[in-house]
Amino acid sequence: MHNTTSRLVLIGLLACSASALAWQAKNPESYRYSWRDDSGLQHFSDSLNNEAIKNGYDVINSSGLVVRHVQRQLSPEERKVAEAAQAKADAAQAAAERQHAQDMQMLSAYPNEQVFRDAQQAEINELTQAIRTTQINLHAQEQNLADLLSHAADIKHDGKPVPAFLNQRIDTQRKAVTEQRATLARQQQAKVDAEKHVEELLARYRKLRAAEDAQTP
């Protein structure tokens, strides 16, 4: 553990020293470094040491002004926390940029609310038509199942065994009815979700359009 810590400090020292040298190369002037030790005592030096890297330091020019501050070296645990926070911030920024792009696209595609409503209603109508088609198919499948069951009941009523192929057809038809009912349920839920989404989009569209109109002279 001690060796690992020492290597981290050495790597940090080399990296920060290289950064400081590169910065000084771009800014040719006489600089000093200032930092505070663990007890809070301030130090000044023409070069960096492990303590400065660990605690962070200021770069001071010949006029005594701080021209740059370098944060203290993070521990492995702190670095993980910082990286996680940065990743979260980056994700939030990316989401905001995507939302902005979608907003601009929506405003561009629909010049006014009526155009927006017509387009969204067309999508709802497609879902409604799909539901109607499924309902028709389901009714036909249920009727087929009822006919098969009625035929099997007549055979039993005559005191005869129901043929295996008929039982198989009944099982197959039951599965078809079950699947069709599941499809209908999914489509109906999709329509409910779509209508809710349209209302949310409409509210956002109105807000965006109002903001844009307010900026138009």
Whether residue 60 is found in the same domain as residue 129: no
Quick: pLDDT tens for 100-148. Answer: 999 999 999 999 999 999 999 999 999 999 999 999 999 999 999 999 9
What six digits make up the tokens of 148?
A: 């098969």
Whether residue 102 is found in the same domain as residue 116: no
Range of the domain at 204: 110-215
What six digits make up the tokens of 106?
A: 């929506």
Percent of residues, the chain, with pLDDT higher than 70 = 86
Q: pTM of whole model > 0.75? A: no
d(CA 55, CA 94): 33
Would residue 114 count as lying in a domain? yes
Quick: pLDDT tens for 54-86. Answer: 888 999 998 889 889 888 878 889 889 989 999
Contact, 11 vs 18, CB < 8 A?
A: no
Exposure on the CB side of residue 28, measured as CA atoms within 13 A: 0
Whether residue 43 is found in the same domain as residue 89: no
Whether residue 81 is found in the same domain as residue 66: no
Q: What's the longest Cα–Cα distance across the chain?
A: 114
Q: Which residues pair with 57 in a beta bridge?
A: 70
